[in-house]
Structure 1
Amino acid sequence: MSGTAEVEMTMAKLQRRISEEKKRNKLRGIARISAFTFLLLIAVGATAQSNTEATPTAQAISAPTPTLRVYTNLKQVSVLVLSSDYRRVKPLDPSGFRISLDSGPLFRPTYVRQEGDDPISLAILIDASKPYLELLPVLVRAVATLPPDFLRPQDRVSVYAMDCTLIRTIYDTGANPAALADGVKRAMAPWQIRQTRNEELKKQNKIPPPNCRAGLPLWDSMSEVLKDLDQQPGRRVLLAITDGGDDGSKTLWKDVMFHAQIRSETVFGLLSTINPPSFSGWEDKFEQICVSSGGVELQANEHTTLSRLKEFTQMVRDRYILEYPRAPNEQPGVHTIAVSYPKKRDLYITATGITVPIASEDEKESMKTIQEDPSRTPEFGNRKALPKP
């Protein structure tokens, strides 16, 4: 996670900025103030020293306020770690993680912690275009039970349904049972009306009319939801409740995968254990979207939907946040990142993509930048990511 901040302030303003930064991080539950605060504290110390060594004169008071440029220089990546059968595992020793960039040499992250109560922006996409998806009847009750134990008050939730059109019922709303129940209920309303109508027709020995075709099939709908997530803060996650099959999207599945990767958005899938036979081969595409974005497919049925939804939220909370310095020689473009845990081999590990700016010329000039310890900066390998098809 990296950005550039330009600070033009007196010592009093710097101290107030530090205090506000600490308060914000405390409220967010993010134990990662060291990098930014460390630089600000150095700036405060230098200013204080210069002010105490000499008595201010009229000329000094009227002099222009010096400019201090402070650059945050850490990247941050979310890493999902499960057992080989996609189950949660006990907390790992943080020192065991290793990172490789473009297949370069392994290095240890600067800092590792579990995600915990970091704010989440969660988008729930319900595929209501399939009459046979067994997970749908229990969704309203199941999703509404997630707050406050599994979704926190600081989390934000949006709900969508794939039907004859793509429906959005709530957007960037605080996670509370009433809002979630209402959002899912309204999203499911067209599907529920069709189900009731079809049951009545069957009782009358009449053939139900065919379902309308989804206005935006799966890849198209996922693309639209991810675009909405682009605008939201926190750790962004898409949960698609679907059978994984696409029926004629204009958007390529690889475009959905690439979008999630470069925007640091993680895709999870909740799929029915009863798979329709008409979609042979679809599993690979949907699974690759999940895996390549730092998520995983989960299987459920009408009896296990609630427990699997809770397990999903726990997986998100259990993710590891790995930090490491930005390399001074990093070049623009797409790079690969591989996270491993050599101490334990039978693990499923996948990372969410990250997007960061490269160092500017000002940052590279030693007179303007506090230089990173060369021994702690990662080294890139020669293997480049495959170009986007």
Structure 2
Amino acid sequence: MKQILAIALMFFTSGLYAQSVPPIRVDVHLVNVFVNVTDQNGSPVSGLTQEDFTIAEDGHPQKIAVFEKQSNMPLSIVLAVDTSGSVNKDLAIEKRAAHNFVHSLLRPQDSLDLIEFSDDVREVVPFTNKLSRIDYGIENLRTGPATALYDAVYLSAQSLNSRPGRKVLVLISDGGNTVKGVDYADALEQAVRSETMVYSIIDVPIQADAGRDTGGEHAMITLSQETGGKYFYADAAHLPEAFQKVSEDLRTQYLLAYYPEHRRTDSDFRTITVTVKQPAGAHYTVRHRTGYYASPRQ
């Protein structure tokens, strides 16, 4: 018996066993992609099945492993409100609209974090589903002289990074960033890495271009487009409507998930493409995040 054990030990330590059996590598990273489909009128398209969708990573088809209609996954939401002087005139209306949004959207399994940003970023209410705490926080937002927009996006996405379920940032601002801190590129990368969907509600100060920060508005639009969220222009009279559209959008999402296959590029960023069958006479628009980073941030 001792001789048999000795031979077996020599067999393993000599590397013969390692050479004869190839290593097993299993990629267990499930990629979740939340998809919104709308028709030519902008209305959500319901009733689609898994067979109606195709998904590709870096141009290579992927097998859909998980499919859900109107995903019931929990929502982790950061509601980030610009309280700088440039939007102070609409703050009372924003508060009322935010109250309605929270009460109509949050379910027992969901949670919301409320932050305000002006010259800095402050967490008013940490993640909770207690409506009374959120209501109190909304009523006690404080104003400031400047706008740390990109800091707010970065910190919000960072706080969402370890949250379960769907990760959503609802960003209310006029688009101006007047604080030197996090830049736009880093804010966008953090949002993408944390798989945060950014919904931008752009509070239009005036209709004319003069005096508007159109560059900041474009930054908010791009944040939403790259992360699979959506953007809305809303003056004071239409802020409640914009909140309602965000709520409807989150309630009509499909979930497509896959285990990545056939990675043939050295790029850290993986592009995602989703297509849907187009019935005769219909024109569907598909919206989802444009990709993800394959490695953690250094």
The alpha carbon displacement at 1:147 in A equals 4.7
Q: Partner letter of residue 155 of structure 2?
A: E
Q: Secondary structure of the equivalent of 2:269?
A: coil
**How far does residue 290 in structure 1 lie from its aligned partner after superposition?**
1.0
Give the corresponding residue for 1:103: 59
The sequence identity of aligned pairs, in percent, is: 19
Counterpart of 2:270 in 1: which secondary structure?
coil
Q: Which residue is equivalent to 1:308?
A: 242
Which of 210, 222, 227 aligns to 1:293? It is 227
Q: How does 1:125-164 map to 2 (within 5 A)?
A: 125-132=80-87, 134-164=89-119
In structure 2, relative to structure 1, the CA distance for the partners of 1:347 and 1:159 (3 Å cut) is same
Which ranges of 4 or more aligned residues in structure 1 deviate by more than 6 Å?
A: none
Partner of 1:177 in structure 2?
A: 131
Shift of 1:317: 2.1
Cα distance in 2, alignment partners of residues 134 and 212 from structure 1: 13
Task: Give the aligned partner of residue 224 of structure 1.
Answer: 155
On the 8 A contact 2:121/2:152 being kept in 1, the answer is yes
Instruction: Name stretches of at least 5 consecutive residues in structure 2 with no aligned partner.
Output: 1-25
Q: Distance in 2 between matches of 1:279 and 1:186?
A: 27
TM-score by length of structure 1 reads: 0.60
The one of 204, 218, 236 equivalent to 2:167 is: 236
TM-aligned CA deviation for residue 240 of structure 1: 0.6
Question: What residue is the counterpart of 1:114 in the other structure?
Answer: 69
Separation in 2, partners of 1:213, 1:256? 18
Distance 2:285 2:132 in 1: 38
After superposition, the C-alpha distances for 1:74-120 in whole angstroms (9 at most, x for unaligned) are 432212334567x441315222212121123x456344222433211
Amino acid at match of 1:158: D
Deviation larger for 273-282 or 113-122: 273-282
> Mapping of 1:359-378 within 5 angstroms?
none
Is the Cα contact below 8 Å between 2:269 and 2:291 reproduced in 1?
A: no
AA at the equivalent of 1:177: L
The 8 Å contact of residues 81 and 350 in structure 1, kept in 2 or not, is answered as no
* Matched letter for residue 120 of structure 2: T
- Cα deviation for residue 150 of structure 1 reads 1.8
Q: TM-score, normalised by structure 2?
A: 0.77
Q: Deviations over 1:54-77 (max 9, x none)?
A: xxxxxxxxxxxxxxxx98564322
Alignment: residue pair count: 264
1:350 aligns with 2:285: no
Specify whether residues 79 and 346 from structure 1 end up closer, same or farther in structure 2 by C-alpha distance, changes over 3 A only: closer
Whichever residue aligns with residue 231 of structure 2, its letter is E
Letter in 1 for 2:57: L
Q: CA deviation at 1:331?
A: 6.9
Structure 1: stretches of 5+ with no match in the other structure: 1-69, 192-210, 358-387
Flag the structure with larger Rg: 1
| Residue 221 (structure 1) shift | 2.0
Change (3 A) 1:156 1:355: farther
Report whether the alignment pairs 1:76 with 2:32. Answer: yes
- Could you say if the C-alpha distance between residues 278 and 113 of structure 1 is closer, same or farther in structure 2, counting changes exceeding 3 Å? same
Query: Does the CA contact (< 8 Å) of 1:151 and 1:313 recur in 2?
Result: no
Within 2, Cα distance between the matches of 1:322 and 1:136?
37
Structure 1 distance, partners of 2:236, 2:214, is 22
* SS in structure 2 at match of 1:238: strand
Q: Does the CA-based 8 Å contact 1:264-1:352 persist in structure 2?
A: no
**Where is the strand percentage greater, Structure 1 or Structure 2?**
2
Are 2:150 and 1:213 equivalent residues in the alignment? no
Output the CA distance in 2 between the equivalents of 1:241 and 1:111: 33
CA change 1:72–1:212 in 2 (3 A) is: closer
AA aligned to 1:185 is E
Cross-structure match for 1:24: none
The code of the aligned residue for 1:102 comes to D
Is it true that 1:337 corresponds to 2:280 in the alignment?
no
Bigger shift: residues 288-297 or 306-315: 306-315
Report the alpha carbon displacement of residue 301 of structure 1 after superposing the two structures with TM: 2.8
CA apart distance, 1:178: 1.6
- Tell me how far apart the structure 2 counterparts of residues 83 and 258 of structure 1 sit (CA, whole Å): 30
- Structure 1 segment 195-274 matched on structure 2, within 5 A: 212-214=145-147, 217-274=148-205
Distance 1:260 1:186 in 2: 27
**Aligned match for 1:319, one of 253, 257, 264:** 253
Quote the Cα distance in structure 1 between the aligned partners of 2:179 and 2:29.
43
Aligned residue type for 1:258: E
Deviations 1:220-264 (A, max 9, x none): 221122211223222111111001121243322122111111221
Q: 1:245 to 1:81 in 2, by over 3 A?
A: farther
CA contact (8 A) 1:79 1:352 kept: no
Deviation at 1:288, TM superposition (A): 0.9
